[in-house]
Amino acid sequence: MTHLIVSEVTLTFGGLNALTGVNIAIEPGLITSIIGPNGAGKTSLLNCVSGFYHPTLGEIRYGKYNLTHASPHRISTMGIARAFQNLELFRGLSVLDNLLLARHKHLNYSIFHAIIYFGKASRIEAENRAYVEKVIDFMELEPYRKKMVGNLSYGVQKRVEVARALTLAPQLLLLDEPMAGMNIEEKEDIVRFILDLKKEWGMTVVLVEHDLGVVMDISDRIYVLDFGVLIGWGKPEEVATNPKVIDAYIGEE
């Protein structure tokens, strides 16, 4: 299993530092949360890891891979997938079609095989379909499989967004506020899915989330950002009593 190492990462937009000298080590097989007030740099950090931004300074490594200047497409082939805060789904397609499209990088057969659709092509298509069915079953999306995504409730669309990331068969899953805008019941479902991904699938999860109650309940490790600077890290009980973290969230008296 592979560690994700973020070393002295600085991200600058003009004269503004979105991240400044951030160091984070994501241990395999754990749920690691990244928290902080609005504008702390949480999503910017995920953007750097997933290749949407490239750090101005520093380095990001995932096992033998250097992610610092890699493209999102290249990173998706390294066992890393991401679910976005803002839904990145094809609203005019069904749930099933959205998930099948996400498996495109696994369709490694030639145009010749595609034309005759026999042997290798049919076998790979069957394997991909089986994996998608596994994800649909895990995320309890069976009732919605043939429904158009744009007609589903927001909470179900968020589940489809997580499922889309899972269809890439990642070892490391990046979740950017997967519970934003959800009611209590929908949040409980997502929490259950995340815990099962760790326990049953052995997956490493990096979670950006504003619901501190959820974060404290399910995280193995927590990192805290404030104005792009890492101000605290450790186990939930250590972070909860860190004076710098308390000041960042509720301010000084």
**Amino acid 1: pLDDT:** 58
Q: Are 187 and 179 in contact (CB under 8 A)?
A: yes
pLDDT tens, position by position, 149-204: 999 998 899 999 999 999 988 999 999 989 888 888 889 999 999 999 999 999 99
Q: Residue 238 pLDDT > 90, yes or no?
A: yes
Percent share of the chain, pLDDT over 70? 89
Q: How far apart are CA 64 and CA 192, in angstroms?
A: 31
Residue type, 210: H
**Amino acid 112: pLDDT:** 46
pLDDT tens, position by position, 134-153: 999 999 999 998 999 999 99
**Amino acid 111: pLDDT:** 52
pLDDT tens, position by position, 8-47: 999 999 888 999 999 999 999 999 999 998 888 999 999 9
Please compute the mean of the pLDDT values over residues 47-65 and round it to a whole number: 94
Q: Are 32 and 172 in contact (CB under 8 A)?
A: no
Q: Residue 133 pLDDT > 80, yes or no?
A: yes
Q: Residue 223 pLDDT > 60, yes or no?
A: yes
Q: How far is CA 148 from CA 26, 89, 207, 216, in A?
A: 36, 11, 28, 35
Please compute the mean of the pLDDT values over residues 205-225 and round it to a whole number: 93
Q: Where are the domains of the chain?
A: 1-79+170-253, 89-169
What band does 105 get if pLDDT is binned at 50, 70 and 90? low
Does the domain at 1-79+170-253 match CATH 3.40.50.300? Answer given as yes
CA 210 to chain centre: 15
pTM reported for the whole predicted model: 0.87
First to last CA, the chain: 44
